[in-house]
A = this chain, B = another copy of it.
């Protein structure tokens, strides 16, 4: 159950369509260099590199240097942490609804 302070940077990293697209492309399990991820992205290689740095900064992707290229791969554990926060709030909501219902039926 991540705190708000811990979860916010994670959501911030997810708050960009380019980065979401990058994560989705990496969800096939493969590790790719920047050029491969930049191709088709309409953006500069530098821009993509910056986005990957943001994702790497919060641990959503892992970077590994291999020769002259830098490979990026998805880290689904971190995705799960973001989901955990949402789950927690939804659970709290469901619980509150349950209490309300019980109270109405059994006043």
Q: Does A7 contact B (CB under 8 A)?
A: yes
Select one of B4, B23, B76 contacting A17, CB under 8 A.
B4
Given A11-B14, A11-B15, A79-B86, answer yes or no on A92-B28 (Cβ-Cβ < 8 Å).
Answer: yes
Q: How far is the CA of A16 from the CA of B83 in the complex (A)?
A: 16
Select one of B21, B82, B86, B96 contacting A4, CB under 8 A.
B21
Q: Which residues in A have some Cβ–Cβ distance to B below 8 Å?
A: 4-5, 7-9, 11-12, 14-17, 20-21, 23-24, 27-30, 74, 76, 79-80, 82-83, 85-87, 89-90, 92-93, 96-97, 100
Besides A5-B17, A7-B20, A20-B85, 14 more A-B contacts (Cβ < 8 Å) are A7-B14, A8-B17, A11-B11, A11-B15, A12-B12, A27-B90, A27-B96, A29-B97, A29-B100, A30-B96, A76-B90, A80-B86, A82-B86, A83-B90
